[in-house]
Amino acid sequence: MNQSKREFNFGHSTNVIIKKLRTTFDKQILSPTCFERLPNELFYEIFDYLDPYDTDQIFLNLNIRFKNLLTQSLLPLKINLSNKLNLSIEERCRHVIIPNKHRLLSLHFNDPLCINTFFIQCNIDSSFSRLESVILNGILEEKIL
């Protein structure tokens, strides 16, 4: 019996390797990233350090998990409206403060113009059930009365 060996076909071997690499790459693209595997509690900790408006802008439309984390959360919000543009304050009132007023723990202002813009957009009433502090820096005494 005379066994003959197949000749090495470089083109065939390369195609097999390319297919394996492509399959591996495709699986990596379709699989969730390490970031998405982190627990919800860690994301809540991260969100606590970020501005709630920016958090919504970044994570809300990322996927359904983040949308649920942000919209169904009962964690308190701390909002700092210092040094924000008036347009930005209006957007923050519409998209973050009013929909989440039951979660709002504190409001912080440093500019009389920001304060005026905020109070034109929002009225603080009993629906702000968790609100503990409102800091109004730079407001004149006669404006308070």
Q: What digits encode the pLDDT tens for the residues 72-82?
A: 888 899 988 87
Is 131 found in the same domain as 82? yes
Q: Which one has a higher pLDDT value, 127 or 21?
A: 127
Per-residue model confidence as pLDDT tens digits over 84-107:
676 688 888 888 899 999 999 999
Residue that is last in its domain, among 19, 44, 75: 75
Residue 16 in this model has a pLDDT that exceeds 60: yes
Per-residue model confidence as pLDDT tens digits over 107-118:
998 888 888 888
Question: Residue 144's pLDDT is what?
Answer: 67
Query: For residue 17, is it within any domain?
Result: no
Domain count along the chain: 2
Is 83 found in the same domain as 71? no
Predicted TM-score (pTM) of the model is 0.65
Within 10 Å of residue 43's Cβ, how many Cβ atoms? 19
Is 117 found in the same domain as 56? no
Q: Which of 100-104, 122-126, 138-142 has the lowest mean pLDDT?
A: 138-142
Is 97 found in the same domain as 60? no
Q: Which one has a higher pLDDT value, 97 or 18?
A: 97
Query: For residue 127, is it within any domain?
Result: yes
Residue 138 in this model has a pLDDT that exceeds 90: no
Is 86 found in the same domain as 58? no
- Helices and strands (DSSP H and E) totals, the chain: 7, 3
Domain boundaries, position 127: 77-145
Is 48 found in the same domain as 67? yes
Most confident segment among 4-8, 49-53, 74-78, 129-133: 129-133
